[in-house]
Structure 1
Amino acid sequence: MSGPSHPLRTAAAALGAVLLAAGLVAGPAPSPVRAAATITNPGFESSGASQTPTGWSESSSSGQQSASFTEAGGRSGNYRLSHWASGAYRVETYQQLTGLGNGSYTLRAWVRSGGGQVAAYLALRNCGGAEQRVSIPTASSWTQVSVTAQVSGGQCTAAIVSDARAGNWINVDDVEFTGGGTGNPGGAAQIRGVDISTLLKSQDRGGVYRDSAGTQRDPLQLLTSNGVNYARLKVWVNPADGYNNRARVLTMASRIKAQGMRLLVDFHYSDSWADPGKQNKPAAWSGYSFNQLRDAVYNHTYDVLNALKAQGTTADMVQVGNEINDGMLWPDGRSNNWANLAALLTAGSNAVKAVNSSTQVMLHLAEGGNNSQHRWWFDQATSRGVPFDVIGVSHYLYWHGSLGSLQANLNDLASRYGRPVLVAETAYGFTLNADDGEPNIFNSSSQSAGGYPATPQGQADALRAVFDVVRSVPNGRGLGVFYWEPTWTAVAGNGWDPTNPSSGNGWENQALFDYGDRALPGLAVFGSV
């Protein structure tokens, strides 16, 4: 991730055992609560094309039950549930589930929508607490969404609801109701990560963090207590503000490892932000020949990682470059010169393994739904023998496309290149309001593009949906997700520009802490995926 938009963005069980042995992922999560009841007719196949699908009920406040029906054209199988009418309508299709043990349950479904509704969502209600909802995003391709609720009292109602204008439609298929997320083919997420590169500077400038009840807590303890098991830190060569350099990374690595988290180190090979729109050389390397530049990549990578190892905080995973769709260290390593780019990537990867052979090397691209570009890029890398272990992508729903496009790309990359995949960056807004004078990246247009409301629950639902996509990658190759900068709240002096102490933060409405510094529902997602 590059940060704010203006200068910062321009444009398998065997596998699991290997990763566990290498120390890449944590061991299995505790066994979750199991559902004592499941969805009847989850694929809407039992009754074929009909008014009321077998096992389901329909209701409408205006007598428009006919707006809910099954028809040909399922995601799997032959049929799907649809909501549609020629006039405005409000209808829901639902099932009541009984005989449930107390605990956390998740409703998942594959959906499509033409958009335009007043509201369209999945809901869990009458479960013993407040109703929980997830919006059905506007998407022409099948996309999986999920919503979670705490059950007490033995029952819960799963509902599919449309409050729609004339001609609005949704399709729904392959519904699941499971305890603790057990229904997902990928099982519990192995990596539940966060990028906290700005946290040290935030705390040095007075930033504080509170749990959802308002009690001030150590932010790293708060993260781990909510299920986070991996932290990511970026490295700049000689940043103007002295943060995200070797010394500060060492400081944060000690705190991270002390909490039992694993560590991902993200090398930008720059003095400031590197992303698809800019990959500027560090000032100290600006006059280097290509051979000197290649050696500098090796030496810088080795130096930082060896220092981490020496203090007992060996990196578990390393990114050689950040969002390098168009290469790195321009112009020498731009993607129009793949021989050079491959040599730089190989130098960085070799340095990682020279320090610790079990540290995993990730290659990281933005635009997580861009399959044609990613195929081209990794075909180039693999044909030149660039060594790497993991494929990482950035995927922000409001920039990079639908959940469906992310899913198709990750499934293809994992299969085509035989490597595990993960989302190295994602985030979503919990409000459209700002907490400082810097315009926020996530705005009303972002909300429209992302498909989830800019609310605390919308943010949590968006994050859970990204986890669901990654966990469903076949053969256990979907490792998990890193949320980008959940602790980057609006703290004076901790703005986006390392050269300007008065710069603001365009990210605070995508943090996982509200404007009173309290943890938001999105943070709790890490403990339930």
Structure 2
Amino acid sequence: MPSPLSRRSVFAAAAGGLVLSGTGTLSAQAQGKRQGLSVRGADLSFLLQLEEAGVRYRDRQGRTGTAEKILAAAGANYQRIRVWVDPPEGYTDRERALALGRRAKRAGLKIVLDPHYCDFWADPGKHPIPAGWPTELPALAEKVRTYTRDLIRAFAAQGTPVDIFQMGNEITAGILWPVGQLYPAEGPQRWSEFATLLKAGITGARQGSAGRPLPVMLHIDRGGKLEDTRWFFDNITELDVPFDIIGQSYYPMWHGSLADLEANLRDSVSRYRKPVLVAETSYPWTLEDGDGYENLITDDSALPDVGRFPATEAGQAGYYEALRKVLAGIPGGRGLGFLAWEPAWIPGVGWEPGAGAPNDNLTQFDFTGRALASIRAYRRP
């Protein structure tokens, strides 16, 4: 397997003036040009299914448009796209991910690609190997490399090259269980195997980009949890896994207050000399339920800053403004920005066939598809 590119290589993403050096710092040129946050975007991976279900979207003035164009008009510049290997029919496989990529580029958005390396959902609680993949480490690592290479190539071949590559989804507990699992029920944590799989995917991504700079993000779910973040990235650094961006999921209901987030992000950029990106976030605009399927957040007691940000449209907008302020204040311009998670996932499509949407009160569109005040957070300045 070819060696990854040298860490001293320079990686660039043209959108928003994002230029990363081999140490993960923003170049002096980029810092001089930056206005606001470099990354302001959203994961819209359910979009095709929602439209097929009849969902329509409107901007703040009541004009009908596609969700990605409404967000782009508000100032968004990135769209994250997840991709599963062999999901249930209609969910985001490679072909649907490519279709989303074409739409993103037409809307003027850069692409963050988020392969889950699973047939369906992957997160810290589950990460099974795809049904048709090998289960022994050497063959599995090779499959990860070639799958990733071909995926990146496919995006480039259709004229929609990937701008940030996310190596797995919320990989705090490893990937491709049990081979790369960090918390097995029995036996030791498999850090060496995990690192082998990460390096295979990153190598494949570099090969697929054919020399085009491609920043790599490692994404965990510990936004406000400093010690957990240190534990993960200390190990990753010791194992010499090459990466450029620290990605964090940050949901206040699970990951602490904004003050906790700020302390963790500041520690990370100092400790690892890498920029940070809030790769997933959301906040409730109501405690009501739009589809009769129980939501994840039904009680505002789960919100650590509820006094500042109640579960209302104005409270949600205030949360995103405060998040912007935290990120803009990270030293050295290393707070790259945020990606809202599925802000268009209003009632109409379930998280799995036959189910509902458990976060239809965490969106940035109301139950009828009208954009909420919080989309102003995508603005550039």
SS of 2:57 mapped into structure 1:
coil
Q: Measure, in 2, the Cα distance between the counterparts of 1:442 and 1:450.
A: 14
| 1:281 maps onto 2:129 in alignment | yes
Residue number in structure 1 paired with 2:207: 354
C-alpha contact 2:281 2:339 (8 A) present in aligned 1: yes
Counting helix residues as a fraction of each chain, which structure ranks higher?
2
Structure 1 runs not aligned, ≥5 long: 1-17, 29-185
Q: Measure, in 1, the Cα distance between the counterparts of 2:261 and 2:35.
A: 19
What aligned pairs does 1:4-43 form with structure 2 within 5 A after superposition? 22-27=12-17
Q: Measure, in 1, the Cα distance between the counterparts of 2:337 and 2:199.
A: 25
1:76-132 superposed Cα distances (whole Å, 9 cap, x missing partner): xxxxxxxxxxxxxxxxxxxxxxxxxxxxxxxxxxxxxxxxxxxxxxxxxxxxxxxxx
What aligned pairs does 1:282-361 form with structure 2 within 5 A after superposition? 282-285=130-133, 287-335=134-182, 336-356=189-209, 357=211, 358-361=213-216
1:459-479 superposed Cα distances (whole Å, 9 cap, x missing partner): 111111112111111011110
Residues 509 and 248 of structure 1, relative CA distance in 2, 3 Å threshold: same
Residue number in structure 1 paired with 2:100: 252
Residue number in structure 2 paired with 1:479: 336
Residue number in structure 1 paired with 2:4: none
Cα distance, 1:516 vs structure 2: 2.2
The TM-score with structure 1 as length reference comes to 0.64
Cα distance, 1:288 vs structure 2: 2.2
Residues 425 and 415 of structure 1, relative CA distance in 2, 3 Å threshold: same
Cα distance, 1:407 vs structure 2: 0.7
* Bigger Rg over Cα: 1
1:225-251 superposed Cα distances (whole Å, 9 cap, x missing partner): 001100000010000124211100111
Q: Measure, in 1, the Cα distance between the counterparts of 2:67 and 2:250.
A: 25
Cα distance, 1:528 vs structure 2: 5.7
What aligned pairs does 1:458-477 form with structure 2 within 5 A after superposition? 458-477=315-334
Cα distance, 1:486 vs structure 2: 0.6
| 1:196 maps onto 2:44 in alignment | yes
1:117-167 superposed Cα distances (whole Å, 9 cap, x missing partner): xxxxxxxxxxxxxxxxxxxxxxxxxxxxxxxxxxxxxxxxxxxxxxxxxxx
Cα distance, 1:526 vs structure 2: 1.1
Cα distance, 1:213 vs structure 2: 2.6
What aligned pairs does 1:75-86 form with structure 2 within 5 A after superposition? none
C-alpha contact 2:58 2:369 (8 A) present in aligned 1: yes
Q: Measure, in 2, the Cα distance between the counterparts of 1:338 and 1:25.
A: 34
C-alpha contact 2:148 2:208 (8 A) present in aligned 1: no
Question: What is the one-letter code of the residue matched to 1:464?
Answer: E
1:43-70 superposed Cα distances (whole Å, 9 cap, x missing partner): xxxxxxxxxxxxxxxxxxxxxxxxxxxx
Residue number in structure 2 paired with 1:207: 55
Q: Measure, in 2, the Cα distance between the counterparts of 1:446 and 1:254.
A: 41
Q: Measure, in 2, the Cα distance between the counterparts of 1:227 and 1:209.
A: 17
Q: Measure, in 1, the Cα distance between the counterparts of 2:365 and 2:89.
A: 24
Structure 2 runs not aligned, ≥5 long: 1-9, 19-33, 183-188
Residue number in structure 1 paired with 2:27: none
C-alpha contact 2:300 2:310 (8 A) present in aligned 1: no
C-alpha contact 1:238 1:282 (8 A) present in aligned 2: yes
Q: Quick one: percent identity of the two aligned structures?
A: 41
What aligned pairs does 1:83-102 form with structure 2 within 5 A after superposition? none
Residue number in structure 2 paired with 1:171: none
C-alpha contact 1:398 1:450 (8 A) present in aligned 2: no
SS of 1:233 mapped into structure 2:
strand
Q: Measure, in 2, the Cα distance between the counterparts of 1:345 and 1:401.
A: 28
Q: Which has the higher contact order (CA 8 A, sep 6+)?
A: 2
Aligned-residue Cα RMSD (Å) equals 1.6
Runs of 4+ aligned residues of structure 1 deviating over 3 Å after TM superposition are 445-450
Question: What is the one-letter code of the residue matched to 2:328?
Answer: R
Q: Measure, in 1, the Cα distance between the counterparts of 2:289 and 2:14.
A: 37
Question: What is the one-letter code of the residue matched to 2:181?
Answer: R
C-alpha contact 2:45 2:82 (8 A) present in aligned 1: yes
What aligned pairs does 1:150-165 form with structure 2 within 5 A after superposition? none
Counting strand residues as a fraction of each chain, which structure ranks higher?
1
